[in-house]
């Protein structure tokens, strides 16, 4: 198949997942065209089956807000026409679904029929999308999609709660490439972070409010009082200055390391003993899954789709949102008990296998085939 993928090119979960999906599809022989405003961060290396088309948004003094959606829709028209694209798969509803709908309409006027699939990722529904400013366009363009997927049962339910969606929403969970994330820890790297064999506690995110970074730090502060440990913080975003300040206030700055945005996440996950994810909401929690694939149990909040990934008391622990007491108690329990930590680590790897790339990518391929069959049946012969 000739597939056009639209996503955010950044470190956010939706962009990461879309890029990994495109790479996996290319490995399976499909031709994949990424269409976005810059090269996706996880799109490294060369593949003969992968193409990248940049959406350019020309500056003009009249525009306080350059019209990205219009530029994207026009680029989609161009890419579909010139590359025989069979279908478009857009990740994150805003503004990708409405741009795809616009492109589809323009192309139909020219006798070219291209279906589009919208994958909902989380905040496009739960936070940004339901805002009155966007909601009518989001609901309309989701309903106009030829197929809709959500990354968890929870997100499907949230979508039905927030919008009047008349179409079936298929759940296709996030996935991880188990082979890639089963790495042996690099001793030298581990030594840099934890020179005296301290336990390494990891958090990785885009440091937005929804991630509750302060809870990561308060939890670590309590762990650190009992267990020699280091906190490794990966990523960047609006909450980072607050997080650094809080670490200084609590006197734990020396035991924390902010490493910013990182490419080689598999090397980082490999050295972690425990992953913290105390988010206000996660549609799924891709970072938790990647950590589990590398053998880290996860201490997380019982929010959104997280319980679909983590089984409490088996491969991690779940607490109510904001319950730092309980999260630190569970972390200390695990980290101070080597047998239990090892059991949880093995169970985390087992759980991650359910979401292995080899099990999930075929679900997308099956959906593509169904959409293309329906689309061709709908065309007059």
Instruction: Based on the shown chain and the rule CB under 6 A, indicate whether residue 284 belongs to the binding site for ligand GMT.
Output: yes
CB of 61 to ligand GMT, least distance (A): 32
Tokens of 297: 């149990």
Choose the binding region for ligand GMT from 13-21, 50-58, 175-183, 311-319 (rule: CB under 6 A): 13-21
CB of 92 to ligand GMT, least distance (A): 5
Q: According to DSSP H, which parts of 148-280 are helical?
A: 153-162, 178-181, 187-193, 213-226, 240-250, 265-271
For residues 288 and 354, give the distance between their C-alpha atoms in angstroms, rounded to a whole number: 14
Judged by CB under 6 A, the residue of 32, 151, 194, 202 near ligand GMT is 151
Is the CB of 72 or the CB of 194 nearer to ligand GMT? 72
Nearest to 154 by CA among 310, 305, 285, 312: 305
Mask 285-304, x = binds ligand GMT (CB under 6 A)? xx------------------
Mask 53-92, x = binds ligand GMT (CB under 6 A)? ---------------------------------------x
Instruction: Based on the shown chain and the rule CB under 6 A, indicate whether residue 335 belongs to the binding site for ligand GMT.
Output: no
For residues 367 and 221, give the distance between their C-alpha atoms in angstroms, rounded to a whole number: 46
Judged by CB under 6 A, the residue of 146, 273, 282, 330 near ligand GMT is 282
Size of the residue set binding ligand GMT (CB under 6 A): 20
Tokens of 232: 């490794």
Residue 54: Cβ within 10 Å count = 13
Instruction: Based on the shown chain and the rule CB under 6 A, indicate whether residue 144 belongs to the binding site for ligand GMT.
Output: no
Choose the binding region for ligand GMT from 24-32, 80-88, 95-103, 276-284 (rule: CB under 6 A): 276-284
CB of 81 to ligand GMT, least distance (A): 29
Residue 288: Cβ within 10 Å count = 28
Is the CB of 162 or the CB of 343 nearer to ligand GMT? 162
Q: What is the largest CA-CA distance in the chain?
A: 72
CB of 155 to ligand GMT, least distance (A): 7
Is the CB of 101 or the CB of 281 nearer to ligand GMT? 281
Q: From its phi and psi, is residue 313 left (phi > 0), alpha (psi between -120 and 50) or beta?
A: left
**Cβ neighbourhood burial of 281 (10 Å; 0-12, 13-18, 19+):** buried
Under 8 Å CB-to-CB from 84, ≥6 apart: which residues?
2
> Can you give the binding site for ligand GMT, defined by CB under 6 A?
12-15, 17, 92, 121-123, 151, 174, 206, 208, 210, 281-286
């Amino acid at each position: 198949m000739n597939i056009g993928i639209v996503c955010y090119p950044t470190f956010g979960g939706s962009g990461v997942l879309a890029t990994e999906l495109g790479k996996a599809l290319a490995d399976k022989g499909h031709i994949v065209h990424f269409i976005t405003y810059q090269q996706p961060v996880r799109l490294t290396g060369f593949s003969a089956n992968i193409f990248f088309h940049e959406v350019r948004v020309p500056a003009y003094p009249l525009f306080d807000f350059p019209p990205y959606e219009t530029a994207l829709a026009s680029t989609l028209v161009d890419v579909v026409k010139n590359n025989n694209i069979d279908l478009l798969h857009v990740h994150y509803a805003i503004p990708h679904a409405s741009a795809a709908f616009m492109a589809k309409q323009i192309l139909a006027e020219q006798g070219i029929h291209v279906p589009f699939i919208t994958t909902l990722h989380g905040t496009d529904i739960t936070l940004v999308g339901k805002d009155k400013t966007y909601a009518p366009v989001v609901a309309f363009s989701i309903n106009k999609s030829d197929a809709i997927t959500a990354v968890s049962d929870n997100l499907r339910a949230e979508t039905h709660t927030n919008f009047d969606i008349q179409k079936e929403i298929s759940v296709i969970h996030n996935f991880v490439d188990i082979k890639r994330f089963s790495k042996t820890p690099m001793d030298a790297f581990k030594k840099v972070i934890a020179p005296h064999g301290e336990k390494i506690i990891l958090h990785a995110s885009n440091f937005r409010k929804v991630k509750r970074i302060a809870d990561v730090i308060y939890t670590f502060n309590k762990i650190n009082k009992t267990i020699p440990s280091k906190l490794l913080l990966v990523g960047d975003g609006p909450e980072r200055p607050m997080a650094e300040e809080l670490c200084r206030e609590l006197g734990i700055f020396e035991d924390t390391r902010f490493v910013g945005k990182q490419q080689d996440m598999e090397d980082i996950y490999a050295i972690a003993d425990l992953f913290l994810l105390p988010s206000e909401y996660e549609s799924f929690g891709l970072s938790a899954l990647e950590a589990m694939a590398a053998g880290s149990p996860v201490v997380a909040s019982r929010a959104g789709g997280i319980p679909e990934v983590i089984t409490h008391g088996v491969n991690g622990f779940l607490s109510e949102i904001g319950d730092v007491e309980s999260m630190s108690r569970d972390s200390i329990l695990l980290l101070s008990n080597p047998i239990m930590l090892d059991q949880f680590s093995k169970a985390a790897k087992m759980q991650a296998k359910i979401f292995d790339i080899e099990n999930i990518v075929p679900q997308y391929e099956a959906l593509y085939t169904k959409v293309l069959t329906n689309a061709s049946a709908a065309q007059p012969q």
